A and B are shown apart, each in its own frame.
Chain A
Amino acid sequence: MSRSLEETLEPQTVLELRGVSKRFGGITACKDITFTLPRGRIMGLIGPNGAGKTTAFNLITGVYGVTEGAIVLDGVSIAGMRPDRIVRLGVARTFQNIRLFRNLSVLENVVTALDCHETYSLGASFLRLPGVRRRELGLREEAMAFLAAVGLEDKAATRADAMPYGLQRKLEIARALALKPRLLLLDEPAAGMNPEESLDLARLIRRIHDEFKLTTLLIEHHMDVVMALCERIYVMNFGEKLAEGTAEAIQRDPDVLKAYLGEGFKRAQHI
């Protein structure tokens, strides 16, 4: 596959974790986590519950500070930065338990995300200068475009918590996209979905990943989704690395099968 000039000049690694550890008092949630995520790839982060996957997300997004180790985003060290700064540097995440702005409409949820890169001043807001009015209309149009990307455009005026669960998950994703990230972290996006919905979601993730030129890190328990999307997988157990490799290799790895997938695991198709 040929590369464009821009792609050759950009750094190839979007995210790098080096020896990252997190301790809460006596509990070690993450120990010595090291991996790199190349540009444009989708990587899976899997493991049993309590393995430290969401903690890893929280460390990357700055919700927790690292006890040890380095986290580098496109060459910039982000460990210890405030979460909102990290977001503005281009990291977006979704939450395991959906965290939408429940009393706001679907559209308002996305517009709030778009505000992240908006810059008009406080004074201009107070006076509602013509520039502000134009920007506000522009934001709404852009937000509708993001809703259309996930198929929610006809629900724009609905209250966020009035939507069915599957659509709320889609809204979470639309909101994350509206942050215009270079790195997208998805925390169990298929949670609570049946196999048909999961595969639909997997196709959506693939589509937006390609369309918006993202680099994606995915936590998921639905193996069909993981195997369908991820070229590489990092397996965690008890806060440490259990295995790392291609989807095929992981599906065959005896340690992974024993600890997590189960001996009778059927290999899944890649899409």
Chain B
Amino acid sequence: MWQYISGVISLGLIYVIATVGLAVFTGFTGLFSLGHAAFFAIGAYTAAILSYFYGVNFYVALAAGAAAGGLVGFLIGYPTLKAKLRTDYFAIATLGFGEAIRVLLENLPITQGARGLPGIRVDTTLPVLLVCATLVIAFAWNLIHSRHGRAAIAIREDFVAAEMMGVDIFVGRLRSLVFSAACAGLAGGLFAHYFGFIQPSMFTSYMSTQMTAAVVAGGMGSISGPVIATLIFIGIPEALRVANIWRLVAYGLLLVLIMVFRPQGLMGYRELNLDMIKGWFRRAEKGGKA
């Protein structure tokens, strides 16, 4: 039983790492990355190839996966962000790049194409994941509460005004994208060494969709919101044994409902904090007494 629960938590933590990265990008700069699964895949393949074919140490492979994700994020982000594409066309461009990467992964000899890479060392354990997730969340939190994070938020709020506050829009967005791509890459490496087997068809738009849905549902402009949303998205369907397909139907519907009824998501523009939790207890008490 514990085996099963720890498995669900582990999967949840892997996605939390990737989603926190996406939350920093989408939630704080307001741009959409529809091909984010591609960075995840790059990280997974880089880490897997290094550890499987070259016997590289697990942690080094993870770092390489994160670095690879970040690098590809930089390469993709540089031309698309330089062109100052509007939100929707940026999203379409990321979709195109995601597609290009998928084609690449299916056709390079080293990735063994659509067959995938089996036999990867299973080095990812729950403690490793807990440490990684905590570190990533801490870094993201620090980034948001620094001048670099404020620049990203300003870009999301009003990029014309942000420019007038001396913010370099291009650099601000690129920085966020590279960070989020590196997070996805790290998550990918952890993923590969958790399942022991990867193939291109695992990194589909289903993954990108779930991450995006978690960011929106959790609340753009928050870190804790998407973390909670991710854990709910992974945990509850597992508990209810819901098939993947119906999960996606639910995600789609959820996105629309959130936009129509509660666009600020779960956390709005705020973070989970002690005052908030105290407030819930106070209200629950009052409710009980009434």
Contact = CB atoms under 8 A, between A and B. Distances in A.
Nearest to A61: B164
Interface in A89-103: 92-93, 95, 99-103
A113 B167 CA distance: 9
Contacts of B147: 115, 118, 120, 125
Nearest to B144: A125
Contacts of A84: 163, 166-169
Determine the main DSSP class of A at the interface with B. Answer: helix
Residue among A83, A92, A104, A120 with max Cβ neighbours from chain B (10 Å):
A83
Contact of B142 (A63, A82, A87, A127): A127
A103 B268 CA distance: 10
Interface residues of A, number: 35
A42 to B, nearest CB: 20
Interface string B133-145: 0000001001101
Given A108-B150, A112-B154, A136-B145, A101 B166 contact: no
Given A103-B221, A103-B269, A127-B142, A87 B165 contact: yes
B122 interface: no
Interface in A108-137: 108, 111-113, 115-118, 120, 122, 124-128, 132, 136
B150 A87 contact: no
B267 to A, nearest CB: 13
Contact of B151 (A82, A88, A115): A115
Contacts of B145: 128, 136
B3 interface: no
A173 to B, nearest CB: 13
B221 A179 contact: no
B196 to A, nearest CB: 31
Contacts of A93: 164
A175 interface: yes
A118 B145 CA distance: 14
Given A108-B150, A128-B142, A179 B161 contact: no
A115 B147 CA distance: 6
Size class of the B contact interface (CB-based, 8 Å): 20 to 34
Contacts of B221: 103
A161 to B, nearest CB: 10
Contacts, number: 85
B238 interface: no
Contacts of B168: 82, 84
B193 interface: no
B121 interface: no
A116 B146 contact: no
Given A112-B150, A136-B145, A104 B157 contact: yes
A112 B148 CA distance: 10
B36 interface: no
B149 interface: yes
Nearest to B141: A128
A83 to B, nearest CB: 5
Contact of B164 (A99, A104, A117, A127): A99
A203 B120 CA distance: 72
B88 interface: no
Contact of B161 (A101, A116, A120, A136): A101
B161 A122 contact: no
11 contacts: A84-B163, A84-B166, A84-B169, A87-B165, A101-B157, A101-B158, A104-B153, A104-B157, A122-B148, A126-B139, A128-B146
Interface of A: 61, 63, 82-84, 87-88, 92-93, 95, 99-104, 108, 111-113, 115-118, 120, 122, 124-128, 132, 136, 175, 179
Given A61-B164, A95-B164, A99-B160, 12 more contacts: A82-B168, A87-B166, A99-B158, A100-B158, A101-B158, A102-B158, A108-B150, A112-B167, A113-B165, A117-B166, A122-B175, A125-B147
Interface of B: 139, 142-143, 145-151, 153-154, 157-158, 160-169, 175, 221, 269
